[in-house]
Amino acid sequence: MIDINLIRTNPDLVRENIKKKFQDAKLPLVDEVLEFDRLNREAIQRADYLRSQRNKISKQIGALMGQGKKDEAEAAKQQVKDMQDELAAIEQKEEDYAEEIRKRMLVIPNIIDASVPIGKDDSENVENERFGEPVVPEWEVPYHVDIMERLNGIDLDSARRTSGNGFYYLKGDIARLHSAILSYARDFMIDHGFTYYVPPFMIHGNVVTGVMSFAEMENMMYKIEGEDLYLIGTSEHSMIGKFIDQMQVGAHGIEERGVYRIHQFEKQEMVVVCKPEDSMKWYNKMWQLTVEFFRSMDIPVRTLECCSGDLADLKVKSCDVEAWSPRQQKYFEVGSCSNLGDAQARRLKIRVKGADGRKYLPHTLNNTVVAPPRMLIAFLENNLQPDGSIRIPEALRVYMGGKTQIG
């Protein structure tokens, strides 16, 4: 959510940003916010006047009664009552106007960074850089589920019976590999100075609306029937939500099959809350750590800059990390790094008190460290050997009991 002062002082900038995101249907929201803001400020001004007059007249009533001016005192009492009635009506209007403003502010997109390429959708995202040489082996690379089944490592049929489509059982060495990658990712990030958290898997509705846009909410959240609880779609939701209403003290296609798109997954996420002037530094550090993590397991990757039309409304800047698929001979998304500016902090009322005593809204960022099972797909395809076995890179062997391969 952007600062309403920006709409007041530079509405054309907000309109231009909406156009850059190809959301012209939202353009009327700017004028609507300005109008409700005008009405709200008029109501506040009128309410302040009524309170001062009410207090002034109330003080006169006792004096009038003491002077025996009963009729004048009664007239003054009626004035106070009329003012009180008008004040109650105005205060309700203030609440209504504020709610109308907030509803619109929640869907006006955040101001994107000047470096973001302009484009309508993900087809216009821009490749930034490649890391590692993408290799196409001389032998045929099977579909990832076929690889897992040959190694007796997955059971989709049983999962369909117990849970429906979009779920799976992993077993044996594949299940162990899944856990090993998560453990390695955990230690990799701890070694880079991050603190490891296991967050709540459910959050209240006010946290949901604070950390994500309504479009995202509809696409990725499950609500618990009869409860004000939602299952998180990523740890970012509860990790940023932990600061809600807090004042912090600063220091100064084909892949629809299989397990590519599923309802069940675990992933590890980097979450940073920082000073505004440091957010771009953290943004670059975070995606670089994901690249380093994948390269440590001999998986070629590239980074893709998300264009304006592909950015979620809260994001200032975002890039995807994509892994090489030898089978498809193309890259596919395995992670995403995003800078959300102060949007989440403003929605959740997160403030930081700096060493100089000044309060400010921090910037929030998130980035995927690793997201099985997509990570498994990239790992299996890039480490598949001619005999059908899977090579275990050196960095992962300690988490696999010293194994050098799965076969």
- CA–CA separation, 134 and 236 (whole Å): 31
- State the chain's mean pLDDT as an integer: 90
| Cα pseudo-dihedral 16, 19, 23, 26, rounded to 10 | 40
- CA–CA separation, 133 and 101 (whole Å): 51
Q: Tell me, what's the pLDDT at 252?
A: 46
Q: Tell me, what's the pLDDT at 254?
A: 42
Where is average pLDDT lowest: 133-142, 205-214, 261-270?
Answer: 261-270
Q: Residue 10 in 3-state DSSP?
A: coil
- CA–CA separation, 276 and 178 (whole Å): 36
pLDDT per position as a tens digit, 135-186: 999 989 999 999 999 999 999 999 899 988 888 899 999 999 999 999 999 9
Identify whether the C-beta of residue 132 lies closer than 8 Å to the C-beta of residue 301.
Answer: yes
pLDDT per position as a tens digit, 300-330: 999 999 999 999 999 999 999 999 999 999 9
- CA–CA separation, 63 and 68 (whole Å): 9
- CA–CA separation, 273 and 201 (whole Å): 20
Q: Tell me, what's the pLDDT at 253?
A: 45
Q: Residue 6 in 3-state DSSP?
A: helix
Give percent above pLDDT 70 in the chain.
94
Q: Does domain 122-406 have CATH number 3.30.2350.10?
A: no
pLDDT per position as a tens digit, 74-118: 888 898 899 999 999 999 999 999 999 999 999 999 999 999 999
pLDDT per position as a tens digit, 24-81: 999 999 999 999 999 999 999 999 999 999 888 888 887 888 888 888 888 888 988 9
Identify whether the C-beta of residue 387 lies closer than 8 Å to the C-beta of residue 407.
Answer: yes
Q: Give the model's confidence band at 213: pLDDT under 50 very low, under 70 low, under 90 confident, else very high.
A: low
pLDDT per position as a tens digit, 234-259: 777 888 888 888 777 765 444 445 54
Closest to 378 in 3D by CA, of 286, 264, 302: 302
Q: Which fold is adopted by the domain 4-105?
A: Helix Hairpins (1.10.287)
Q: Where are the domains of the chain?
A: 4-105, 122-406
